[in-house]
Amino acid sequence: MNESSIADLSGSEPVAFNAALAEPFNVLIVGVGGQGVIMVSKVLATLAQAHGFEVKQSEVHGMAKRGGTVFSHVRYGARVWSPTIAKGEADVLIALEWAEGLRWLPYLKRETGVFICDTKRIVPPFACLNRRPGATLRYSGETAEQVAAYVAEGYAIDATRMAEELGNERAANVVLLGALSTALEFPLPEWERVITQFVPKKSVAVNMAAFGLGRSWIAEARTAAPAAEAPVRPAPVHTPYAPRLEITAEWCKSCDICVKLCPERCLRLNAERVVELFAPEKCTGCRLCEWLCPDFAIRVHLDAEAVPEGITP
């Protein structure tokens, strides 16, 4: 961590409530690029450092711009040696995306670990079996209940929706920070001071509200019942369609443009050198062939398709 970034807090007395931590406290923060994983870890690291702990933080954010996985290890304590958390060693696992949370579950301490997870679902491209809207997805099918049975203390919180209701979806990570603040022993004003440091000035109010919301949500969930898991929101359902190509054979001049430029390579010229759709199951109905045909020989119709069995959007 950068020394200058904690200048604001240097005046405050280090709190010694946990100074005798024999073992470092491990927090693993995971999510998808753009969600604010790094911001959460910076807040936590700054906070811990301001309280006199030694802090080590390491992250992988290379895929962030591609919507890929991002994770950050934060370890703090009297002495910290390794910058990364070993499997089964994380005290808190905080996930900004549902499947990412499940992916990192083995890193959580089995007996005492706290799992805080946003139920937001961001489906990665490789979980899409084909590119048609509404097609079958290979996204994790585990329910919140199944996960709750696996972890010592688990919270599935719909932080993204809560932040959306506050007017800024991007504050979802601060909702989770609020949830995290209940699991750690730093005083509330310190949290708020550090968060104010890290969020843009214009959005301080909404982020403070988001923080409070996350805190109160966890408090409620603790008092209510262990079954207070928020239901996982289903992903939006698209109406599946079956593209159908209407080909005017007499107009086709075999120029090959549609065949070569089809992104799915599902067109070809037949024996009469007229275009035909030989792999209709691959066609996504993108209309590129229709647009690029100089002879207007192709027209794409998107017919409604009956939902085949087994589709779990």
Partner 1 sequence: MFTDAPNFDIRNYLRMEMMPHFLCPGCGHGMALRALLWALHELDIDKDKLAVVSGIGCAGRLSAYIDANTFHTTHGRPLAYATGLALARPDLHVVVISGDGDCLAIGGNHLIHACRRNLKLTCLMLNNEIYGMTGGQVSPTTSETRLTTTTPLGNTEPNFDACALATAAGAGFVGREVTRHVPKLKELIKAGLQHPGFAFVEVLSDCTEVYGRKNDMGSSAEMVMRQKSEMRPSVYRDSVDTPFRSTDLPTGILTRNDRPEYGASLRRAAALASKGAH
Which residues form the interface with partner 1 (CB under 8 A)? 250-251, 253-257, 259-261, 287, 291-297, 299, 301-302
Residues in the chain: 313
Of the two residues 78 and 255, which places its CB atom closer to partner 1 in the complex? 255
Distance from C-alpha of 95 to C-alpha of 102, rounded to nearest angstrom: 8
Tokens of 159: 């932080």
Q: Compute the least distance from the CB of residue 242 to partner 1, in Å.
A: 14
For partner 1, the closer of residues 43 and 293 by Cβ is: 293
Distance of alpha carbon 9 from alpha carbon 30, whole angstroms: 27
Q: With respect to partner 1, which residue has the nearer C-beta, 204 or 259?
A: 259
**Minimum CB distance to partner 1 smaller for 21 or for 259:** 259
Question: Shortest gap between Cβ of 299 and partner 1 (angstroms)?
Answer: 7
Q: Which helix (H) or strand (E) holds 102?
A: helix 98-103
| Spatial distance between the Cα atoms of 238 and 174, rounded to a whole number of angstroms | 30
CB of 87 to partner 1, least distance (A): 45
Rounded to the nearest 10 degrees, the angle between the axes of helix 204-224 and helix 188-198 is 140
14, amino acid identity: P
Closest contact distance (angstroms) between CB of 293 and partner 1 is 7
- Considering beta carbons, is residue 13 or 250 the nearer one to partner 1? 250
Report residue 64 CA to chain centroid gap. Answer: 11
Cα(267)–Cα(110) distance, integer angstroms: 53
CB of 128 to partner 1, least distance (A): 20
Strands 153-157 vs 54-60: parallel, antiparallel or unpaired: unpaired
Which CB, 17 or 291, lies closer to partner 1? Answer: 291
Closer residue to partner 1 (CB): 38 or 300: 300
CB of residue 123 vs partner 1: minimum separation in angstroms? 22
Pairing outcome for strands 69-77 and 25-32: antiparallel
Choice between 219 and 261, CB closer to partner 1:
261
For residues 143 and 232, the answer to whether their CB atoms sit within 8 Å is yes
User: Cα(105)–Cα(309) distance, rounded to whole angstroms?
Assistant: 31
Shortest CB 133 distance to partner 1, Å: 12
Residue 262 near residue 290 (C-beta atoms within 8 A) = no
User: Which is nearer to partner 1, 278 or 296 (by Cβ)?
Assistant: 296
CA-to-CA dists, residue 181 to 85, 292, 313, angstroms? 20, 56, 34
Q: Residue 263's Cα: distance from chain center in Å?
A: 28
> In this structure, what token pair is assigned to residue 295?
């002879």
Which 8-state DSSP code applies to residue 116?
A: E
Instruction: Tell me the closest approach of the beta carbon of residue 136 to partner 1, in angstroms.
Output: 23
Grouping H, G, I as helix, E, B as strand and the rest as coil, residue 276 is strand
